[in-house]
Chain A
């Protein structure tokens, strides 16, 4: 199984600032994703992080607000830009193992973001 770490685990930020969240995997993976989970809600897929190219965003999410990088097969970052209180959520990184898209998908512990 893949072991995923996220930094920071939590943060409190001021409105209008930006926060970059890091996701590190202990092995090379084929696919990496970023999700958001608002308080008391289910998970919503933000985007697929593509290695060496621009991320693929889901409806309702844009690159200017959530820029994503994936420089290699084990690391990705998600930036939450120009934050507002509505961005207060848990942000989760997820990866698919080396076996391809039918392989098990693992989730990181999440980053709890509070925007004041």
Chain B
């Protein structure tokens, strides 16, 4: 079963760009890579999804190299409100399998 590995925690300061890298060495051909954000006492919120190369939306960018064994979520100019847990996960035929997540702390 495919598994993701990401840093447990990261610290940043307001206005900085934050890059969170996720390893997924045994990703399957059909798996999409998806990132979610979760604030305390709330359900996870979709950020971005991709299959390969680069995907960008109004919130973040997702970089996926050709071998797809890793992916990097890039958050431009973070603010205090970006403090949350970020999950890298696979969309396996509609099922999302969550890993441990990265707790991002943004400081003033």
Write the residues of chain A forming the contact surface with B, with a CB cutoff of 8 angstroms: 4, 30-31, 33, 35, 42-45, 48, 92, 94, 96, 100-102, 104-110, 112
Contact B96 A105 (CB under 8 A): yes
Q: What's the interface size class on B, roughly?
A: 20 to 34
Closest Cβ of chain A: how far from B77's Cβ, in Å? Answer: 24
Contact B46 A104 (CB under 8 A): yes
Contact B87 A96 (CB under 8 A): no
Q: How far is the CA of A112 from the CA of B32 in the complex (A)?
A: 30
Chain A residues contacting B108 (CB-CB under 8 Å) are none
Does B2 belong to the interface (CB within 8 Å)? Answer: no
Main SS at interface, chain B: strand
**Closest residue of A by beta carbon distance from B48:** A104
Q: Decide yes or no: A102 and B91 within 8 Å by CB, A45-B96, A45-B97, A94-B96 being known contacts.
A: yes
Q: Decide yes or no: A101 and B94 within 8 Å by CB, A42-B99, A42-B100 being known contacts.
A: yes
